[in-house]
Amino acid sequence: MTLPASGAISIAQVATELGIGAAGLSLNDSRVRNLFGKPSGIIRMSDGHGKSNMDRMTIGRYDNSGRSYLGYQGASPTGANFGAYSGTPTSYGSVVSLIIQRWSAYDNKILLQTNNLQVQPCSINFQLAGQSFTFAVKTNDSYGTAIPNTMSDLFLANVGGVCLVKIS
Backbone dihedral angles phi then psi of residue 86, each to the nearest 5 degrees: -125, 115
Consecutive sets of 10 residues in the chain, 168 residues long: mean pLDDT of each? 87 88 91 87 92 88 88 73 83 84 80 78 86 82 78 92 88
Paired residues of 133 in beta bridges: 126
Q: What is the end-to-end Cα distance of the chain in Å, rounded? A: 14
Q: What is the pTM of this model?
A: 0.74
- How high is the pLDDT of residue 75? 67
- How high is the pLDDT of residue 10? 93
- How high is the pLDDT of residue 25? 92
Q: Which of 115, 145, 148, 109 is nearest to 131 (CA)?
A: 148
- Residues with Cβ within 8 Å of residue 132, at least 6 apart in sequence: 1, 125, 126
- How high is the pLDDT of residue 79? 60
Q: Which of 69, 57, 50, 47 is nearest to 156 (CA)?
A: 69
| DSSP state string for 19-76 | TS--TT--TTSHHHHHHHT-SSS---GGGGTT--SSEEEE-EEEEETTEEEEEEE-S-
